[in-house]
Structure 1
Amino acid sequence: MSNQPIGIFDSGFGGLTVFRSIIEQLPGYDYIYMGDNARAPYGNRSFSTIHQYTWECVQWMFSQGCPLVILACNTASAKALRTIQQQDLQHIDDPSKRVLGVIRPTAEVIGNYSKTGEIGVLGTKGTVTSGSYLLEINNFFPDIKVHQQACPLWVPLIENGEYDKPGADFFVQLYLDQIMAQSSNIDTILLACTHYPIIQEKIKAHLPDSINVVGQGDIVAKSLVDYLNRHPEIEQKVTRNGTTEFYTTTDDTADFDHHASLFFSAPVKSNFISANDLVVCK
């Protein structure tokens, strides 16, 4: 194939906040973004279902020429990445292809933001119950104490355009009160869902100024820059024609484009790929 783009995958829109940061730090590369909106949200689904859906989408992106796919989705990274890396990639025609997530690069640096040694992690129910952040942060910062809080209503508020309405403040405050009630020493809040940067300023407004609120976009983008520098065998494969394509599994591409432009901070024109067609890639 003439183009070998970097693939960016998410269950819906949130990964576009990460994609935006990646393009800012790695301009000129070819990219494909895929949102599995028809089967979203992933947050409350089982490990096996999330793995199945994610692996189907990853294989489709491989079929489009991607030698590298980024799971710009915390739930998919928590519940599917390890199986994909350790098992699935060993059984494809080209095992040199790679899949990366957003949890490890975030865990590698998040401890540096805290002075008290206590961090709050806000995420979907799936991400929180997986315990992935507890495990990964402990690997890099064993002295850091991690507190977690699921925020199940934030994604629906954001995707339904209610996040900037007065009623959203109640639910923002609700989950922040719950995480802060776990410890008064928390000085860093990690937004462990790629949707949450949309309400980052609202979150900050409901917290003391002394608390850091950290999104993942820049962290993941910097980690990808470092990864490509350390893996020239991958960097030499991805092409640089400056192309960007968007795909979604919802047939209402106009609705996807409307919402996606908010997350991507630029106009989006997407293409439809049926989720039913993805099973052919299994």
Structure 2
Amino acid sequence: MDNKHSIGVFDSGYGGLTVFKSIAKKLPQYNYIYLGDNSRSPYGDHSFETVYQYTLECVEWLFAQGCPLVILACNTASAKALRSIQQKVLPVKYPNHRVLGVIRPTAEIVGDFTTSKTIGVMGTRGTVNSESYLMEINKFFPDVKVLQQSCPMWVPLVENNEHTSPGADYFVDRYVKELIAKDDNIDCILLACTHYPLLVPKIREVLPAHINLLGQGDIVSDSLVTYLQNHPEIESQIAKEAKRLFYTSGDPVQFDTHASVFFEETVHSMHTDPGNSK
């Protein structure tokens, strides 16, 4: 496979595969390279500086594979690193490359799913503490109230394939109820972590029926369709051979086992070390 014409998709681990799954389904004709930085995940509890450094290393690794466009399919990376990469790194070192995240496309439409003008956001500590969703949603829907809830146990449950176990019930029930208790008017909850779609069946069991539950896969893939239509200078560089490569900074055998659950297809990955690629 010629790597010089692929869309790069990055996540700290497996979660971005839920977004990649939607992108590949909606835009199956393009070539893709997925990179999971599993050896250093989860990113949620790391500092801004650490997440920025890790994300930049992975983005530059994907650039080195020839990807002119990289999607940060990770809310923590999008919250803590995207803006700095876009504003400080790309103009100086990579003026012909583009990096997109998952927060802005979600913020652009999330207000359309609430009638009470009250939204709940569930994410990692890193995403919640960054207040990125508060700021971005306010830009597009200044009349919408946003309540946040960090869910520190959800990613470990999913990463360890415990999301369907009875042990997950307690933490799903706990975090959902803590969020709802913050405002009775919440009628829409955004799952602001790409791991969380695997917990949707359990979330729906404890969520009141009138509350909309939004994932990010379809939102981000729809946004990418529009972006490529509006940026032919990028779209024309992407090979249309429907090929996919998967890389992990962790153990490929372990990655393939878990990734196949997230991606809902058999995955065969290769090992790489983006932190020592220079």
Question: TM-score, with normalisation over the residues of structure 1?
Answer: 0.97
CA distance in 2, matches of 1:142, 1:200: 28
Q: Contact between 2:76 and 2:127, CA under 8 Å: does it hold in 1? A: yes
Deviations 1:175-207 (A, max 9, x none): 011100100000001000000000112101111
- Residue 139 of structure 1 aligns with an amino acid whose one-letter code is K
CA distance in 2, matches of 1:242, 1:177: 43
SS of 1:87's partner is helix
Q: Which residue of 2 aligns with 1:219?
A: 219
CA distance in 2, matches of 1:61, 1:236: 18
CA distance in 2, matches of 1:158, 1:243: 27
Question: TM-score, with normalisation over the residues of structure 2?
Answer: 0.98
Q: Which residue of 2 aligns with 1:5?
A: 6
SS of 1:41's partner is coil
Runs of 4+ in 1 over 3 A off after TM superposition: none
Q: Which residue of 2 aligns with 1:181?
A: 181
Q: Contact between 1:54 and 1:80, CA under 8 Å: does it hold in 2? A: yes
Cα deviation for residue 276 of structure 1 reads 4.1
SS of 1:271's partner is strand
Consecutive unaligned residues in structure 2, runs of 5 or more: none
Consecutive unaligned residues in structure 1, runs of 5 or more: none
Equivalent residues, number: 277
CA distance in 2, matches of 1:221, 1:2: 21
CA-based RMSD = 0.9
- Residue 229 of structure 2 aligns with an amino acid whose one-letter code is N
CA distance in 1, matches of 2:3, 2:197: 35
The alignment status of 1:271 with 2:273, answered yes or no, reads no
Cα deviation for residue 6 of structure 1 reads 0.2
The alignment status of 1:68 with 2:56, answered yes or no, reads no
The alignment status of 1:210 with 2:197, answered yes or no, reads no
Cα deviation for residue 3 of structure 1 reads 3.7
Q: Which residue of 1 aligns with 2:234?
A: 234
SS of 2:5's partner is coil
CA distance in 2, matches of 1:98, 1:161: 33
Deviations 1:61-101 (A, max 9, x none): 00101000000000000000000000011221x41100000
Deviations 1:78-128 (A, max 9, x none): 000000000011221x41100000000000000000011000000000000
The alignment status of 1:19 with 2:29, answered yes or no, reads no
CA distance in 1, matches of 2:65, 2:163: 35
Q: Percent identical across equivalent pairs?
A: 58
Cα deviation for residue 277 of structure 1 reads 2.0
Q: Which residue of 1 aligns with 2:102?
A: 102
- Residue 185 of structure 1 aligns with an amino acid whose one-letter code is N
C-alpha spacing 1:130/1:28, structure 2 compared with 1 (3 Å) = same
